[in-house]
Amino acid sequence: MPLINEQARIVENECVGPRLYLMVLESPQIAKTIKPGQFVHVRIPGMPDHILRRPFSVYAANPATNTIDILYQTVGYGTDFMTTLTPDSASLSVVEVLGPVGRCWMPPEHVKRALLVGGGVGAAPLYMLAEQLVKAQVHTDVVLGAQTEQALVCRGRYEVLLSSHEADVVAPLCSTDDGSYGRAGFATSLVAEALESAAQAARPYDYVAVCGPEPLMRAVAELCAGANVYCEVSMERRMACGIGACLSCVVETTDGKLRACVDGPVFDATKVVW
Amino acid sequence: MAVNLGGLLMKNPVTTASGTFAAGREYNDFVDVSTLGAVTTKGVSLHGWAGNDTPRIAETPSGMLNSIGLQNPGVKHLMDVDIPWLNDQGATIIVNVSGHSFDEYLAVVDELEQACVHAYEINISCPNVDAGGMTLGTDPKCVESIVKKIRDATDRPLIVKLTPNVTSITDIAKAAEAGGADAISLINTLLGMSIDAERMRPTMARVVGGLSGSCVKPVALRMVWECHQAISLPILGMGGIMNGLDAVEFILAGASAVAVGTANFVNPFATQEVIEGIADYCERHGVNDVNELIGALKC
Protein backbone atom coordinates (compact mmCIF):
# COMPACT_ATOMS: atom_id res chain seq x y z
CA MET A 1 0.00 0.00 0.00
CA PRO A 2 1.56 3.33 -1.02
CA LEU A 3 2.09 6.00 1.60
CA ILE A 4 -0.21 8.97 1.36
CA ASN A 5 0.36 12.51 2.58
CA GLU A 6 -2.94 14.32 2.83
CA GLN A 7 -4.28 17.56 4.24
CA ALA A 8 -6.80 16.52 6.87
CA ARG A 9 -9.49 18.84 8.20
CA ILE A 10 -10.09 18.67 11.93
CA VAL A 11 -13.68 17.61 12.51
CA GLU A 12 -13.46 17.38 16.26
CA ASN A 13 -10.84 17.88 18.98
CA GLU A 14 -12.29 17.33 22.44
CA CYS A 15 -10.99 16.62 25.92
CA VAL A 16 -12.24 13.14 26.87
CA GLY A 17 -10.32 12.47 30.09
CA PRO A 18 -7.39 13.61 32.19
CA ARG A 19 -4.80 14.87 29.65
CA LEU A 20 -6.65 12.81 27.04
CA TYR A 21 -8.09 14.20 23.82
CA LEU A 22 -9.94 12.77 20.86
CA MET A 23 -9.16 14.29 17.49
CA VAL A 24 -11.32 13.32 14.52
CA LEU A 25 -9.75 14.04 11.15
CA GLU A 26 -11.22 14.01 7.67
CA SER A 27 -8.58 11.91 5.96
CA PRO A 28 -10.39 10.01 3.21
CA GLN A 29 -7.54 8.07 1.65
CA ILE A 30 -6.06 6.94 4.94
CA ALA A 31 -9.49 6.13 6.40
CA LYS A 32 -9.99 3.72 3.50
CA THR A 33 -6.62 1.99 3.63
CA ILE A 34 -5.34 1.93 7.21
CA LYS A 35 -5.06 -1.44 8.94
CA PRO A 36 -5.33 -2.11 12.68
CA GLY A 37 -2.08 -1.22 14.45
CA GLN A 38 -0.76 1.10 11.76
CA PHE A 39 -0.19 4.76 12.58
CA VAL A 40 -0.14 8.21 11.02
CA HIS A 41 2.70 10.74 11.13
CA VAL A 42 1.22 14.16 11.72
CA ARG A 43 2.55 17.63 10.98
CA ILE A 44 0.84 20.03 13.33
CA PRO A 45 0.20 23.56 12.03
CA GLY A 46 0.97 26.72 13.95
CA MET A 47 4.18 25.67 15.71
CA PRO A 48 6.94 26.39 13.17
CA ASP A 49 9.73 26.26 15.74
CA HIS A 50 8.81 22.65 16.51
CA ILE A 51 9.59 21.13 13.17
CA LEU A 52 9.13 17.40 13.59
CA ARG A 53 6.01 15.43 12.87
CA ARG A 54 4.39 13.40 15.66
CA PRO A 55 3.37 9.75 15.28
CA PHE A 56 -0.13 8.81 16.46
CA SER A 57 -1.84 5.47 16.47
CA VAL A 58 -5.28 5.38 14.92
CA TYR A 59 -8.12 4.55 17.30
CA ALA A 60 -10.79 4.06 14.66
CA ALA A 61 -11.23 4.55 10.94
CA ASN A 62 -14.54 5.19 9.29
CA PRO A 63 -14.43 4.95 5.48
CA ALA A 64 -18.11 5.97 5.32
CA THR A 65 -17.44 9.37 6.87
CA ASN A 66 -13.84 9.55 5.54
CA THR A 67 -12.60 10.07 9.09
CA ILE A 68 -9.99 8.68 11.42
CA ASP A 69 -10.02 9.04 15.21
CA ILE A 70 -6.84 9.77 17.14
CA LEU A 71 -6.81 9.43 20.92
CA TYR A 72 -3.86 11.35 22.30
CA GLN A 73 -2.38 12.17 25.66
CA THR A 74 -0.64 15.48 26.28
CA VAL A 75 3.00 14.76 27.00
CA GLY A 76 4.82 17.93 25.92
CA TYR A 77 4.74 21.09 23.85
CA GLY A 78 3.43 19.51 20.65
CA THR A 79 0.52 17.62 22.14
CA ASP A 80 -0.29 20.57 24.45
CA PHE A 81 -0.45 22.80 21.37
CA MET A 82 -2.59 20.24 19.55
CA THR A 83 -5.32 20.68 22.13
CA THR A 84 -5.74 24.31 21.01
CA LEU A 85 -6.57 23.38 17.41
CA THR A 86 -10.23 23.71 16.55
CA PRO A 87 -12.38 22.84 13.54
CA ASP A 88 -13.58 26.45 13.25
CA SER A 89 -10.16 28.11 13.19
CA ALA A 90 -9.34 29.69 9.85
CA SER A 91 -5.66 28.78 9.80
CA LEU A 92 -5.28 25.98 12.34
CA SER A 93 -7.99 23.54 11.36
CA VAL A 94 -6.01 21.42 8.93
CA VAL A 95 -3.18 19.03 9.77
CA GLU A 96 -0.91 17.17 7.36
CA VAL A 97 -1.24 13.42 7.79
CA LEU A 98 1.21 10.90 6.38
CA GLY A 99 0.21 7.26 6.42
CA PRO A 100 -0.76 4.54 6.79
CA VAL A 101 2.60 3.61 8.26
CA GLY A 102 3.93 0.41 9.75
CA ARG A 103 3.36 -3.26 10.31
CA CYS A 104 -0.19 -3.98 11.42
CA TRP A 105 -1.33 -6.48 14.05
CA MET A 106 -0.97 -9.93 12.56
CA PRO A 107 -2.98 -12.51 14.48
CA PRO A 108 -2.33 -16.14 13.49
CA GLU A 109 -4.45 -17.12 10.51
CA HIS A 110 -6.74 -19.54 12.33
CA VAL A 111 -6.89 -17.72 15.64
CA LYS A 112 -9.73 -18.98 17.84
CA ARG A 113 -9.40 -17.01 21.04
CA ALA A 114 -7.68 -13.65 21.43
CA LEU A 115 -6.83 -11.48 24.41
CA LEU A 116 -6.18 -7.78 23.87
CA VAL A 117 -4.42 -5.83 26.62
CA GLY A 118 -4.40 -2.02 26.58
CA GLY A 119 -2.63 0.12 29.15
CA GLY A 120 -3.57 3.82 29.26
CA VAL A 121 -3.84 5.31 25.75
CA GLY A 122 -2.51 1.95 24.55
CA ALA A 123 -6.14 0.85 24.51
CA ALA A 124 -6.71 2.91 21.37
CA PRO A 125 -4.49 1.14 18.80
CA LEU A 126 -6.11 -2.18 19.79
CA TYR A 127 -9.66 -1.10 19.04
CA MET A 128 -9.53 -1.63 15.28
CA LEU A 129 -7.98 -5.03 15.91
CA ALA A 130 -10.85 -5.85 18.26
CA GLU A 131 -13.31 -4.83 15.53
CA GLN A 132 -11.52 -7.05 13.02
CA LEU A 133 -11.47 -10.05 15.35
CA VAL A 134 -15.10 -9.65 16.42
CA LYS A 135 -16.15 -9.36 12.79
CA ALA A 136 -14.27 -12.57 12.05
CA GLN A 137 -16.13 -14.17 14.96
CA VAL A 138 -12.99 -14.75 16.95
CA HIS A 139 -13.68 -15.00 20.65
CA THR A 140 -12.05 -11.80 21.91
CA ASP A 141 -11.47 -10.73 25.47
CA VAL A 142 -10.14 -7.33 26.44
CA VAL A 143 -8.20 -6.14 29.46
CA LEU A 144 -7.90 -2.40 29.97
CA GLY A 145 -5.75 -0.70 32.58
CA ALA A 146 -5.46 2.98 33.45
CA GLN A 147 -4.48 5.23 36.33
CA THR A 148 -8.05 6.18 37.22
CA GLU A 149 -11.63 5.49 36.16
CA GLN A 150 -11.70 8.80 34.26
CA ALA A 151 -8.67 7.67 32.26
CA LEU A 152 -10.42 4.48 31.08
CA VAL A 153 -11.74 6.46 28.13
CA CYS A 154 -11.95 3.59 25.66
CA ARG A 155 -14.06 1.37 27.91
CA GLY A 156 -17.39 2.48 26.47
CA ARG A 157 -16.53 1.68 22.86
CA TYR A 158 -15.14 -1.73 23.82
CA GLU A 159 -18.28 -2.51 25.84
CA VAL A 160 -20.49 -1.77 22.85
CA LEU A 161 -18.27 -3.77 20.50
CA LEU A 162 -17.89 -6.81 22.76
CA SER A 163 -21.58 -6.94 23.63
CA SER A 164 -22.22 -7.47 19.94
CA HIS A 165 -20.83 -11.00 20.07
CA GLU A 166 -21.21 -14.00 22.30
CA ALA A 167 -18.40 -14.09 24.76
CA ASP A 168 -17.80 -15.55 28.17
CA VAL A 169 -16.72 -12.13 29.29
CA VAL A 170 -18.83 -9.49 27.61
CA ALA A 171 -17.39 -6.38 29.23
CA PRO A 172 -13.71 -5.58 29.12
CA LEU A 173 -11.87 -6.49 32.30
CA CYS A 174 -10.56 -3.31 33.85
CA SER A 175 -7.97 -2.28 36.38
CA THR A 176 -7.07 1.12 37.78
CA ASP A 177 -3.95 2.09 39.67
CA ASP A 178 -6.02 3.89 42.33
CA GLY A 179 -8.77 1.28 42.54
CA SER A 180 -11.47 3.72 41.42
CA TYR A 181 -12.80 1.18 38.90
CA GLY A 182 -12.32 -2.56 38.50
CA ARG A 183 -9.31 -4.32 39.94
CA ALA A 184 -6.99 -2.12 42.01
CA GLY A 185 -3.44 -2.21 40.67
CA PHE A 186 -1.88 -2.97 37.32
CA ALA A 187 -3.55 -4.88 34.49
CA THR A 188 -0.93 -7.62 34.66
CA SER A 189 -2.74 -9.64 37.33
CA LEU A 190 -5.93 -9.70 35.24
CA VAL A 191 -3.92 -10.96 32.28
CA ALA A 192 -2.30 -13.71 34.33
CA GLU A 193 -5.71 -14.86 35.60
CA ALA A 194 -7.29 -14.73 32.14
CA LEU A 195 -4.47 -16.82 30.65
CA GLU A 196 -4.72 -19.34 33.45
CA SER A 197 -8.50 -19.72 33.48
CA ALA A 198 -8.62 -20.03 29.70
CA ALA A 199 -6.00 -22.78 29.83
CA GLN A 200 -7.85 -24.56 32.66
CA ALA A 201 -11.08 -24.44 30.71
CA ALA A 202 -9.22 -26.14 27.86
CA ARG A 203 -9.91 -23.09 25.68
CA PRO A 204 -6.52 -21.41 25.79
CA TYR A 205 -5.77 -18.15 24.06
CA ASP A 206 -3.81 -18.53 20.86
CA TYR A 207 -3.14 -14.80 20.43
CA VAL A 208 -2.42 -11.91 22.77
CA ALA A 209 -1.93 -8.31 21.59
CA VAL A 210 -0.68 -5.68 24.00
CA CYS A 211 -0.08 -1.96 23.80
CA GLY A 212 0.81 0.32 26.67
CA PRO A 213 3.70 1.30 28.91
CA GLU A 214 6.77 -0.84 28.27
CA PRO A 215 6.79 -2.49 31.72
CA LEU A 216 3.23 -3.71 31.07
CA MET A 217 4.09 -5.01 27.61
CA ARG A 218 7.17 -6.76 28.91
CA ALA A 219 5.27 -8.36 31.80
CA VAL A 220 2.49 -9.58 29.49
CA ALA A 221 5.05 -10.83 26.96
CA GLU A 222 6.72 -12.85 29.71
CA LEU A 223 3.39 -14.29 30.87
CA CYS A 224 2.60 -15.30 27.29
CA ALA A 225 6.03 -16.85 26.81
CA GLY A 226 5.42 -18.87 29.97
CA ALA A 227 1.97 -19.94 28.76
CA ASN A 228 3.24 -20.58 25.22
CA VAL A 229 0.82 -18.11 23.67
CA TYR A 230 1.76 -16.05 20.61
CA CYS A 231 1.99 -12.41 21.65
CA GLU A 232 2.46 -9.17 19.75
CA VAL A 233 3.44 -5.80 21.22
CA SER A 234 3.21 -2.29 19.77
CA MET A 235 6.40 -0.33 20.47
CA GLU A 236 6.67 3.42 20.83
CA ARG A 237 9.83 5.39 20.05
CA ARG A 238 10.76 8.98 19.27
CA MET A 239 10.60 9.33 15.52
CA ALA A 240 11.81 11.76 12.89
CA CYS A 241 10.97 10.68 9.33
CA GLY A 242 8.37 8.04 10.24
CA ILE A 243 8.94 6.16 6.99
CA GLY A 244 12.05 4.11 7.64
CA ALA A 245 14.86 6.37 6.49
CA CYS A 246 16.37 8.07 9.53
CA LEU A 247 16.83 5.14 11.96
CA SER A 248 15.84 7.26 14.97
CA CYS A 249 13.18 4.92 16.28
CA VAL A 250 14.96 1.57 16.47
CA VAL A 251 13.91 -1.23 18.79
CA GLU A 252 16.42 -3.77 20.08
CA THR A 253 15.37 -7.19 18.78
CA THR A 254 16.83 -10.65 18.35
CA ASP A 255 17.27 -9.67 14.67
CA GLY A 256 19.21 -6.50 15.58
CA LYS A 257 18.01 -2.93 15.83
CA LEU A 258 14.79 -2.66 13.82
CA ARG A 259 12.78 0.44 12.97
CA ALA A 260 9.63 0.94 15.05
CA CYS A 261 8.07 2.91 12.18
CA VAL A 262 8.17 0.40 9.34
CA ASP A 263 9.48 -2.89 10.79
CA GLY A 264 7.02 -2.24 13.64
CA PRO A 265 5.35 -0.69 15.49
CA VAL A 266 3.86 -4.15 16.03
CA PHE A 267 6.48 -6.80 16.81
CA ASP A 268 6.41 -10.47 17.73
CA ALA A 269 6.99 -10.13 21.49
CA THR A 270 9.53 -12.95 21.55
CA LYS A 271 11.75 -10.93 19.20
CA VAL A 272 11.93 -7.86 21.43
CA VAL A 273 14.99 -7.55 23.66
CA TRP A 274 13.61 -5.64 26.65
CA MET B 1 19.78 23.70 -14.05
CA ALA B 2 22.70 21.29 -14.64
CA VAL B 3 25.85 21.74 -12.56
CA ASN B 4 29.27 20.12 -12.37
CA LEU B 5 30.36 19.25 -8.86
CA GLY B 6 34.05 18.43 -9.20
CA GLY B 7 33.50 16.17 -12.16
CA LEU B 8 30.12 14.85 -11.02
CA LEU B 9 27.52 15.96 -13.54
CA MET B 10 24.18 16.68 -11.88
CA LYS B 11 21.00 17.47 -13.83
CA ASN B 12 20.13 20.02 -11.16
CA PRO B 13 21.97 21.27 -8.07
CA VAL B 14 19.94 19.28 -5.53
CA THR B 15 20.96 16.12 -3.70
CA THR B 16 20.06 14.62 -0.34
CA ALA B 17 22.09 14.95 2.85
CA SER B 18 23.41 11.54 3.81
CA GLY B 19 21.46 9.80 6.54
CA THR B 20 18.24 11.66 5.90
CA PHE B 21 17.07 9.80 2.80
CA ALA B 22 18.39 6.25 3.34
CA ALA B 23 19.06 5.08 -0.23
CA GLY B 24 15.91 6.67 -1.58
CA ARG B 25 13.57 3.68 -1.58
CA GLU B 26 11.72 4.81 1.55
CA TYR B 27 10.76 8.02 -0.27
CA ASN B 28 9.66 6.26 -3.44
CA ASP B 29 5.98 7.11 -2.90
CA PHE B 30 6.89 10.81 -2.86
CA VAL B 31 10.06 11.36 -4.88
CA ASP B 32 11.25 10.00 -8.23
CA VAL B 33 14.95 9.72 -7.41
CA SER B 34 15.91 10.05 -11.07
CA THR B 35 14.72 13.66 -10.99
CA LEU B 36 17.23 14.62 -8.30
CA GLY B 37 20.66 16.00 -9.12
CA ALA B 38 21.94 13.03 -7.14
CA VAL B 39 21.00 10.75 -4.27
CA THR B 40 23.55 10.76 -1.47
CA THR B 41 23.19 7.49 0.40
CA LYS B 42 23.48 7.00 4.15
CA GLY B 43 27.01 6.62 5.51
CA VAL B 44 28.31 3.12 4.88
CA SER B 45 31.11 1.26 6.64
CA LEU B 46 32.91 -1.95 5.71
CA HIS B 47 30.85 -4.19 7.97
CA GLY B 48 27.53 -3.39 9.62
CA TRP B 49 27.39 -0.99 12.54
CA ALA B 50 24.67 -1.27 15.20
CA GLY B 51 24.58 2.43 16.02
CA ASN B 52 23.79 4.05 19.34
CA ASP B 53 21.13 3.38 21.97
CA THR B 54 17.74 5.12 21.94
CA PRO B 55 16.52 7.81 22.42
CA ARG B 56 18.52 8.88 19.40
CA ILE B 57 16.84 12.20 18.65
CA ALA B 58 15.56 15.30 20.37
CA GLU B 59 13.55 18.15 18.96
CA THR B 60 15.16 21.55 19.57
CA PRO B 61 14.06 25.08 18.63
CA SER B 62 13.82 25.18 14.81
CA GLY B 63 15.81 21.98 14.55
CA MET B 64 16.69 18.64 15.99
CA LEU B 65 19.55 16.68 17.47
CA ASN B 66 20.44 13.18 16.38
CA SER B 67 22.85 10.58 17.61
CA ILE B 68 22.09 7.66 15.32
CA GLY B 69 25.72 6.52 15.29
CA LEU B 70 25.91 5.56 11.61
CA GLN B 71 23.84 2.40 11.95
CA ASN B 72 24.20 0.64 8.61
CA PRO B 73 24.29 -2.93 7.32
CA GLY B 74 27.70 -2.60 5.65
CA VAL B 75 28.96 -1.93 2.14
CA LYS B 76 28.07 -5.36 0.75
CA HIS B 77 24.39 -4.82 1.53
CA LEU B 78 24.53 -1.40 -0.11
CA MET B 79 26.07 -2.93 -3.22
CA ASP B 80 23.74 -5.93 -3.35
CA VAL B 81 20.47 -4.18 -2.57
CA ASP B 82 20.47 -0.40 -2.72
CA ILE B 83 22.82 0.46 -5.56
CA PRO B 84 21.13 -1.91 -8.05
CA TRP B 85 17.77 -0.36 -7.13
CA LEU B 86 19.11 3.16 -7.60
CA ASN B 87 20.69 2.10 -10.90
CA ASP B 88 17.33 0.71 -12.04
CA GLN B 89 15.66 4.01 -11.18
CA GLY B 90 18.23 5.94 -13.20
CA ALA B 91 19.58 7.84 -10.21
CA THR B 92 22.91 9.63 -9.98
CA ILE B 93 24.57 8.17 -6.91
CA ILE B 94 26.91 9.70 -4.35
CA VAL B 95 27.92 7.16 -1.72
CA ASN B 96 28.75 8.56 1.70
CA VAL B 97 31.71 6.56 3.03
CA SER B 98 32.40 6.13 6.75
CA GLY B 99 34.99 4.29 8.76
CA HIS B 100 36.61 3.83 12.14
CA SER B 101 40.12 4.01 10.66
CA PHE B 102 42.04 5.07 7.52
CA ASP B 103 42.10 1.43 6.46
CA GLU B 104 38.35 1.06 6.75
CA TYR B 105 37.65 4.10 4.54
CA LEU B 106 40.03 2.67 1.95
CA ALA B 107 38.50 -0.79 2.18
CA VAL B 108 34.98 0.62 1.62
CA VAL B 109 36.10 2.65 -1.40
CA ASP B 110 37.96 -0.37 -2.72
CA GLU B 111 34.73 -2.42 -2.59
CA LEU B 112 32.68 0.36 -4.14
CA GLU B 113 35.04 0.64 -7.11
CA GLN B 114 33.26 -2.50 -8.38
CA ALA B 115 29.84 -0.85 -8.14
CA CYS B 116 28.06 1.50 -10.50
CA VAL B 117 28.19 4.70 -8.45
CA HIS B 118 29.09 8.18 -9.59
CA ALA B 119 30.94 9.84 -6.71
CA TYR B 120 32.10 9.38 -3.13
CA GLU B 121 31.44 11.65 -0.21
CA ILE B 122 34.00 10.92 2.49
CA ASN B 123 32.45 11.41 5.91
CA ILE B 124 35.22 12.65 8.19
CA SER B 125 32.74 14.65 10.17
CA CYS B 126 30.18 12.49 11.97
CA PRO B 127 29.89 13.71 15.57
CA ASN B 128 28.19 10.51 16.76
CA VAL B 129 30.90 7.86 16.62
CA ASP B 130 33.80 7.46 19.01
CA ALA B 131 36.48 6.56 16.47
CA GLY B 132 36.80 7.90 12.94
CA GLY B 133 34.15 10.42 11.96
CA MET B 134 34.66 13.87 13.38
CA THR B 135 37.88 12.93 15.18
CA LEU B 136 39.52 12.62 11.75
CA GLY B 137 37.98 15.77 10.38
CA THR B 138 39.20 18.29 12.93
CA ASP B 139 42.95 18.03 12.26
CA PRO B 140 44.17 19.48 8.94
CA LYS B 141 47.15 17.10 8.70
CA CYS B 142 44.91 14.12 9.28
CA VAL B 143 42.41 15.38 6.69
CA GLU B 144 45.07 15.86 4.03
CA SER B 145 46.50 12.43 4.73
CA ILE B 146 43.21 10.50 4.53
CA VAL B 147 42.11 12.39 1.43
CA LYS B 148 45.44 11.62 -0.29
CA LYS B 149 45.11 7.93 0.46
CA ILE B 150 41.57 7.77 -0.91
CA ARG B 151 42.56 9.95 -3.89
CA ASP B 152 45.14 7.31 -4.80
CA ALA B 153 42.47 4.62 -4.64
CA THR B 154 39.91 6.12 -7.04
CA ASP B 155 39.49 8.28 -10.10
CA ARG B 156 35.86 8.98 -9.31
CA PRO B 157 34.79 12.43 -8.07
CA LEU B 158 35.85 12.69 -4.46
CA ILE B 159 33.82 14.94 -2.18
CA VAL B 160 35.04 15.44 1.36
CA LYS B 161 32.40 16.24 3.97
CA LEU B 162 33.60 18.63 6.64
CA THR B 163 32.54 19.14 10.21
CA PRO B 164 31.63 22.63 11.42
CA ASN B 165 32.98 21.74 14.87
CA VAL B 166 36.36 23.35 14.24
CA THR B 167 37.94 26.73 14.91
CA SER B 168 38.87 27.37 11.29
CA ILE B 169 36.80 25.71 8.60
CA THR B 170 39.03 27.15 5.88
CA ASP B 171 42.13 25.38 7.27
CA ILE B 172 40.28 22.07 6.97
CA ALA B 173 38.96 22.94 3.50
CA LYS B 174 42.50 23.79 2.33
CA ALA B 175 43.76 20.48 3.70
CA ALA B 176 41.09 18.61 1.74
CA GLU B 177 42.07 20.53 -1.37
CA ALA B 178 45.76 19.77 -0.80
CA GLY B 179 44.91 16.10 -0.39
CA GLY B 180 43.37 16.01 -3.84
CA ALA B 181 39.63 16.29 -3.20
CA ASP B 182 37.43 17.26 -6.15
CA ALA B 183 34.85 19.02 -3.98
CA ILE B 184 33.98 19.62 -0.37
CA SER B 185 30.60 19.33 1.28
CA LEU B 186 29.56 21.19 4.38
CA ILE B 187 28.25 21.39 6.94
CA ASN B 188 27.77 18.16 8.86
CA THR B 189 25.85 18.67 12.09
CA LEU B 190 26.89 20.93 14.94
CA LEU B 191 27.66 19.14 18.17
CA GLY B 192 25.02 19.94 20.75
CA MET B 193 22.97 18.57 23.61
CA SER B 194 19.53 18.75 25.12
CA ILE B 195 18.42 18.37 28.73
CA ASP B 196 15.12 17.34 30.29
CA ALA B 197 15.24 19.49 33.41
CA GLU B 198 12.17 17.89 35.01
CA ARG B 199 13.84 14.49 34.95
CA MET B 200 17.34 15.95 35.45
CA ARG B 201 18.50 13.80 32.56
CA PRO B 202 19.90 14.23 29.06
CA THR B 203 17.23 13.92 26.39
CA MET B 204 19.26 11.45 24.33
CA ALA B 205 20.95 8.23 25.40
CA ARG B 206 24.37 9.32 24.14
CA VAL B 207 23.90 12.74 25.83
CA VAL B 208 25.38 14.72 22.88
CA GLY B 209 24.38 14.68 19.23
CA GLY B 210 24.41 16.58 15.97
CA LEU B 211 22.22 19.64 15.50
CA SER B 212 20.45 20.15 12.17
CA GLY B 213 17.50 22.02 10.71
CA SER B 214 16.78 25.70 10.07
CA CYS B 215 18.62 26.76 13.22
CA VAL B 216 22.02 25.83 11.73
CA LYS B 217 21.55 27.66 8.42
CA PRO B 218 23.34 30.89 9.39
CA VAL B 219 26.41 28.93 10.53
CA ALA B 220 26.37 26.79 7.39
CA LEU B 221 26.03 29.81 5.09
CA ARG B 222 28.95 31.54 6.78
CA MET B 223 31.16 28.48 6.37
CA VAL B 224 30.22 27.94 2.72
CA TRP B 225 30.94 31.62 2.03
CA GLU B 226 34.34 31.47 3.81
CA CYS B 227 35.37 28.28 2.03
CA HIS B 228 34.28 29.62 -1.35
CA GLN B 229 36.76 32.44 -0.90
CA ALA B 230 39.54 30.28 0.56
CA ILE B 231 39.71 27.41 -1.94
CA SER B 232 39.00 26.84 -5.59
CA LEU B 233 37.10 23.55 -5.23
CA PRO B 234 33.37 23.43 -5.85
CA ILE B 235 31.21 23.19 -2.73
CA LEU B 236 28.19 21.07 -1.90
CA GLY B 237 26.35 23.26 0.60
CA MET B 238 23.93 22.08 3.25
CA GLY B 239 22.57 22.94 6.66
CA GLY B 240 18.94 23.85 7.26
CA ILE B 241 17.74 24.02 3.66
CA MET B 242 13.95 23.79 3.91
CA ASN B 243 12.92 25.40 0.59
CA GLY B 244 14.16 26.74 -2.71
CA LEU B 245 15.06 30.16 -1.38
CA ASP B 246 17.26 28.63 1.33
CA ALA B 247 19.03 26.68 -1.41
CA VAL B 248 19.57 29.83 -3.48
CA GLU B 249 21.17 31.50 -0.44
CA PHE B 250 23.74 28.68 -0.35
CA ILE B 251 24.40 28.96 -4.08
CA LEU B 252 24.88 32.71 -3.80
CA ALA B 253 27.32 32.10 -0.94
CA GLY B 254 29.37 29.87 -3.23
CA ALA B 255 27.83 26.41 -3.33
CA SER B 256 27.73 24.68 -6.73
CA ALA B 257 25.16 22.22 -5.42
CA VAL B 258 23.07 21.80 -2.29
CA ALA B 259 21.82 18.96 -0.12
CA VAL B 260 18.42 18.73 1.56
CA GLY B 261 18.52 16.94 4.90
CA THR B 262 16.28 17.43 7.91
CA ALA B 263 13.58 18.92 5.67
CA ASN B 264 12.94 15.41 4.30
CA PHE B 265 11.68 14.36 7.73
CA VAL B 266 9.21 17.22 7.88
CA ASN B 267 8.12 17.18 4.28
CA PRO B 268 8.77 14.09 2.15
CA PHE B 269 8.41 16.22 -0.99
CA ALA B 270 11.12 18.66 0.18
CA THR B 271 13.74 17.76 -2.46
CA GLN B 272 11.28 18.27 -5.32
CA GLU B 273 10.05 21.52 -3.87
CA VAL B 274 13.62 22.81 -3.49
CA ILE B 275 14.33 22.04 -7.17
CA GLU B 276 11.13 23.83 -8.18
CA GLY B 277 11.96 26.73 -5.87
CA ILE B 278 15.39 27.23 -7.42
CA ALA B 279 13.88 27.13 -10.92
CA ASP B 280 11.24 29.63 -9.87
CA TYR B 281 13.89 31.97 -8.43
CA CYS B 282 15.90 31.78 -11.67
CA GLU B 283 12.80 32.64 -13.67
CA ARG B 284 11.88 35.55 -11.44
CA HIS B 285 15.40 36.96 -11.64
CA GLY B 286 15.94 36.36 -15.35
CA VAL B 287 18.73 33.87 -14.70
CA ASN B 288 19.16 31.50 -17.67
CA ASP B 289 21.71 29.19 -16.08
CA VAL B 290 21.85 28.38 -12.38
CA ASN B 291 25.65 28.39 -12.64
CA GLU B 292 25.45 32.18 -12.94
CA LEU B 293 24.28 32.27 -9.32
CA ILE B 294 27.22 30.35 -7.83
CA GLY B 295 29.07 32.77 -5.57
CA ALA B 296 27.14 35.69 -7.02
CA LEU B 297 26.59 37.27 -3.62
CA LYS B 298 27.09 41.03 -3.83
CA CYS B 299 29.07 42.06 -0.75
Q: What is the ipTM of this complex?
A: 0.95
Torsional class of B207: left (φ above 0), alpha (ψ -120 to 50), beta (otherwise)? left
Question: Is residue B142 among the annotated active site residues?
Answer: no
User: Taking CB atoms and an 8 Å cutoff, what residues of chain B touch A214?
Assistant: none
pTM score over 0.90: yes
User: Taking CB atoms and an 8 Å cutoff, what residues of chain B touch A239?
Assistant: 57
Is B71 close to A250, i.e. CB distance below 8 A? yes
Task: Answer yes or no: is pLDDT of A168 > 60.
Answer: no
pLDDT, residue A164, reads 77
| Structural domains in chain A, sorted by start | 4-101 (2.40.30.10), 113-231 (3.40.50.80)
Q: What DSSP string describes chain A?
A: ---EEEEEEEEEEEEEETTEEEEEEE-HHHHHH--TT-EEEEEPTT-TTS-S-EEEE-SEEETTTTEEEEEEE--SHHHHHHTT--TT-SSSSEEEEEEEESBPP---TT--EEEEEEEGGGGGGGHHHHHHHHHTT-EEEEEEEESSGGG-TTHHHHHHHHTTS--SS-SPEEEETTSSSSEES-THHHHHHHHHHHHHTT---SEEEEESSHHHHHHHHHHHHHHT--EEEE-----SSSSSSS--SEEEETTEEEETTTT-BEEEGGGB--
Is B26 close to A98, i.e. CB distance below 8 A? no
User: Taking CB atoms and an 8 Å cutoff, what residues of chain B touch A256?
Assistant: 50
Instruction: Please tell me if residue B203 touches chain A, with a CB cutoff of 8 Å.
Output: no
Phi then psi for B125, rounded to 5 degrees? -145, 10
Stated as kind and residue range, the H or E segment containing B151 is: helix B140-153
Question: Which of A49, A242, A257 is opposite residue B51, by nearest beta carbon?
Answer: A257
Q: How many CA atoms lie within 13 A of B55 on its CB side?
A: 20
Confidence of residue A166 (pLDDT cuts 50, 70, 90): low
Residues of A engaging B, defined by a Cβ cutoff of 8 Å: 2-5, 43, 48-53, 78, 98, 237-251, 256-257, 262
More confident call, A168 vs B158: B158
Cβ neighbours of B6 (radius 10 Å):
19
Question: Which of B61, B264, B269 is opposite residue A49, by nearest beta carbon?
Answer: B61
Q: How many pairs of residues across A and B have Cβ atoms under 8 Å apart? A: 93
**Which residues on neighbouring strands pair with residue A256, listed in sequence order?**
A253
Q: How far is A219 from chain B (nearest CA, A)?
A: 21
pLDDT, residue A167, reads 53
Is A52 close to B64, i.e. CB distance below 8 A? yes
How far, in Å, CA of A214 to CA of A216, rounded?
5
Q: What pLDDT digit, counting tens, does each position of A42-70 carry?
A: 999 999 999 999 999 999 999 999 999 99
How far, in Å, CA of B218 to CA of B253, rounded?
11
Q: Which residues of chain B have pLDDT under 50?
A: none
Q: How far is A250 from chain B (nearest CA, A)?
A: 7
Mean pLDDT over each residue of chain A, to the nearest integer: 95
How far, in Å, CA of A181 to CA of A174, rounded?
7
Q: What pLDDT digit, counting tens, does each position of A29-40 carry?
A: 999 999 999 999
Instruction: Please tell me if residue B214 touches chain A, with a CB cutoff of 8 Å.
Output: yes
Stated as kind and residue range, the H or E segment containing B4 is: strand B3-5
Q: What pLDDT digit, counting tens, does each position of A93-134 carry?
A: 999 999 999 999 999 999 999 999 999 999 999 999 999 999
**Which residues on neighbouring strands pair with residue A184, listed in sequence order?**
A176
Instruction: Please tell me if residue B267 touches chain A, with a CB cutoff of 8 Å.
Output: yes
| Structural domains in chain B, sorted by start | 3-51+70-192+213-293 (3.20.20.70)
User: Taking CB atoms and an 8 Å cutoff, what residues of chain B touch A49?
Assistant: 61-62
